Amino acid sequence: MLSTAYVNIGDRLSAAYVNIGYTLGAAYVNIGDRLGAAYVNIGDRLGATYVNIGDRLGATYVNIGDRLGATYVNIGDRLGAAYVNIGDRLGAAYAIAYAHYLT
């Protein structure tokens, strides 16, 4: 679960636009393990226009594309207008250098 004990992606990616690759590193929880095994492909949700998080974070971290699912939090839906549109935030308008660095 994305509780306050871990990383609140909605809050973290708002004004500060933290680098998701850095935030989801060793200092935090392995988001793949916490969000369980039901599947939503976040890579498909964000589309080619943005960054394929599953590919960018890769094996070094967690394959978010494989791990996130409706049983827990559907980031595609949950981080929409009510939170932050992760597709827009991680797009060309913002820096994703660290995510690229991870690959």
Does the pTM surpass 0.85? The reply is: no
CA nearest to 27, candidates 16, 19, 37:
19
pLDDT value for 36: 40
Question: 90 near 46, Cβ under 8 Å?
Answer: yes
What are 7-50's pLDDT values in tens digits?
Answer: 445 444 443 444 454 444 444 444 444 444 333 444 444 444 34
Separation of alpha carbons 34 and 102, rounded Å: 21
Q: How far is CA 103 from CA 87, 97, 100, in A?
A: 19, 10, 6
CA nearest to 75, candidates 18, 29, 16, 20:
20
